[in-house]
Amino acid sequence: MSLGTSSNKVIIIPVFILAFLGLVMLSSAGVVDGQRKFGSAYYYFNHQFFYGFLPGVLLFFIFSKIKYQFWKKLSLPILLLSIGLLVAVFIPDIGVTAKGAARWIKLGFLSFQPAEILKFSLIIYFAAWFSGRQEKVRNWSYSVVPFLVVLGFVTLLLAGQPDIGTLSMIVMIAIAMYFLAGAEMKHFFSLLGVLAVMFGFLVFFAPYRFNRLLAFARPGSDTQGISYHVNQARLAIGRGGLFGVGFGQSQQKVNFLPEPVGDSIFAIITEELGLVGASFLVGMILWLSLALIKLSRQTSDRFAQLFLLGLVVWIAGQAFINIGAISGLIPLTGITLPFISYGGTSLAVILGALGIASNIAKHS
């Protein structure tokens, strides 16, 4: 067995275990909500399967066959396209607003979330940019200034939706890739300072975001108000114990826990499958992350290295922010759990990105 074939299997196995686990848990977590809102207990499962999993598998297969250097050549057009889609959410009759947020595009029977595509395109763009001009990464005018221009424009678009959770994830991906590309430390920490000030304004001038910080600092102060979500999540996690209450037996998904198929789904998993089930999920995410890191060390192509490490930050970073937030370890963010939470665009785009990782494994 060649090294590429072995690396490819080590990636594929956890990827499809995670995707399968996500479908299984949606079939349980979404039963009550699906029946109440759509008249079908398996609405979320069916929608995720047909509009997320199946397109994602197709993208994984196609992208795994395309030589990964192809994406480096198209990095700028892909980024511009994704930004264009992000702008389109504000266009009447194209953009869709739900719960006060304009985050979706609807074209006929097809609807998708451009911000998920933006994560993918930024990883490709930064990997291509930093790998092509390594000697200039330490230059302030070349690296930091254009970096802030791109991030600043994206920040305005995402803040206008508003989607601060996705913005936080995109900023994390961007600064991590800048650091991994070999940034000058004084430039890197200056950039962190600028971003911290920006987030301070976004948080403290929006009451609901500030309330999330208060709920984190004092979770027992307003259990029926600003602390309701995190307390209901903790109840679900506590009820799960070691082995859980049994698949499909969650009580918290029955009109207690907000967003049971979204950012709260980890609490449902822990309640139904216990610490054992939650540990299995975390273990699969770690397996995939370590496999991608190992693959990045096996390839000598700088673009491939940065792309793979960007994927790790995206998948593992978003997963552990979600888990930490719903467990009360960090403030609630509204960030979903990759592979598991409801969202066809997210699942399809992640599987497509991992198809590129599969191609890198074949050529490592």
DSSP 136-190: GTT-IIIIIHHHHHHHHHHHHHHHHTT-HHHHHHHHHHHHHHHHHTT--HHHHHH
45 assigned to some structural domain: no
114 assigned to some structural domain: yes
Average pLDDT, the chain: 84
62 assigned to some structural domain: no
Domain that holds residue 102: 77-338
Residues 6+ positions from 319 with CB-CB distance below 8 Å: 285, 337, 338
Q: For position 194, what pLDDT does the model report?
A: 73
Checking if the pLDDT of 309 tops 50, the result is: yes
Q: For position 213, what pLDDT does the model report?
A: 62
Cis previous bond, 162, omega within 30? yes
351 assigned to some structural domain: no
Look at residues 86, 15, 88, 116 and name the one whose alpha carbon lies nearest to residue 344.
116
Q: For position 259, what pLDDT does the model report?
A: 86
- Among the residue ranges 8-22, 149-163, 240-254, 306-320, the one predicted with the least confidence is 149-163
Q: How many domains does the chain have?
A: 1
CA distances from 66 to 63, 151, 292, 312, 324 (A): 5, 29, 18, 21, 36
201 assigned to some structural domain: yes
- Structure tokens given for 150: 């791109």
Q: What number is the average pLDDT over the span 246-253?
A: 90
139 versus 95: the higher-pLDDT residue is 95
pLDDT tens string 187-213: 677 777 777 777 777 666 666 665 666
71 assigned to some structural domain: no
42 assigned to some structural domain: no
pLDDT band at 364 (very low <50, low <70, confident <90, very high): confident
225 assigned to some structural domain: yes
